[in-house]
Amino acid sequence: MDRAPQFIGQSTAFLDAVERASRAAPTSRPVLVVGERGTGKELIAERLHRLSPRWGEPLVTLNCAALPETLIEAELFGHEAGAFTGATRARVGRFEEADRGTLFLDELATLSMAAQERLLRAVEYGEVTRIGASRPMQVDVRIVAATNEHLPRLAEQGKFRADLLDRLSFEVITLPPLRVREGDVVVLAEYFGTRMASELGWQGWPGFSETALSLLEFYAWPGNVRELRNVIERAVYRWDEWNGAVDVVVFDPFDSPWRPEAAAPEARAPSASPPSASVAEPANDDALDQITNLRGAVDAHEKAILTRALSRHRHNQRRTAQNLGLTYDQLRHCLRKHGLLERAGAATDS
């Protein structure tokens, strides 16, 4: 199955952003793409290039956060031989590579102020000067920049050049996070699930169970589509019952009872007084004496704790899980075990 990046979604918020990119593509003006991580900013940049008159020319990408400040200018504008220590020969910069095409600058907000000043001149006049050179050269480059930062606020704080922001914001396309793209989680899950099943050689795609789909739809997706893809592909890869709907979804691959902590605690001598705990204890010894079914008593106690915690947090499952020291998945498992999931699921987790 084709693994080339594709636009998948049906929500109005998502389709509006794609339509705005399609409309801006034929121009040669700069476009600023704003969005959280994993929302598809690079896909929008590629669309802007492919639907423009420059589609046959290079699309050059530079992640501004991937290089130290001392090298970013040389990477953007190139350098002459001997311009600095280690520059044994001349090197073409990204602007020259992208001449007549498109230059995509990802993580724009990480550029130093010095690099921003030189970028401003390149955008304003179409001129770049290699480090160590005395004469500028003309380039014809369409700039598409991306960020997950609030650039106007950074400009107000003096951390980003306001004049550069003015030049780059001819059009601003803000991509919606996955959590507000109504209906797109299921569409994307089916797409990534089908693709992974094909890659694994499954004879067909059994889909996801209602329980799994409910978990997927209630999750907040801080990593957006990129995170969703990983979750779906991992769920399919780990599922062995190919003829049955995928029913197990793991959001945190690091979640394990054996996960190491940030720092191992030092061994300490036993304390005379036990540490305090926020766990309810039986009222008295008489109540303990009345227990004849340990498992039933434990289950009843656990169910009572869950019911009370849900009520206290107005059935907000995420807050309940956090309060009880559980992951969202662990709480959902406990609710399902005690028949509380349907009642709890009636509330939203906003």
Over residues 34-52, the pLDDT tens digits come to 999 999 999 999 999 999 9
Name the nearest CA neighbour of 245 among 202, 284, 282.
202
CATH code assigned at 209: 1.10.8.60
pLDDT at 189: 97
**Domain count across the chain:** 3
Q: Which of 176, 195, 215 is the last residue of a domain?
A: 176
- Same domain, yes or no, for 167 and 198? no
Q: Which of 137, 152, 176 is the last residue of a domain?
A: 176
How many CB atoms neighbour CB 234 within 10 A?
16
Task: Put residue 46 in one of left, alpha, beta given phi > 0 → left and psi -120 to 50 → alpha.
Answer: alpha
Q: Which of 176, 201, 218 is the last residue of a domain?
A: 176
89, part of any domain: yes
339, part of any domain: yes
Confidence of residue 59 (pLDDT cuts 50, 70, 90): very high
Name the nearest CA neighbour of 194 among 236, 222, 134.
236
- Domain region containing 124: 12-176
Residue 276 has pLDDT above 50, yes or no: no
Residue 332 has pLDDT above 70, yes or no: yes
- Same domain, yes or no, for 83 and 166? yes
254, part of any domain: no
Edge-to-edge order in the sheet of strand 59-63: 59-63, 102-106, 142-147, 31-34, 171-174
pLDDT at 287: 59
CATH code assigned at 165: 3.40.50.300
What's the pTM value of the predicted model, to 2 decimals? 0.71
- Same domain, yes or no, for 208 and 134? no
**Percent of the chain's residues with pLDDT above 70:** 86
- Same domain, yes or no, for 199 and 331? no
Distance in angstroms (rounded) separating the CA atoms of residues 298 and 289: 14
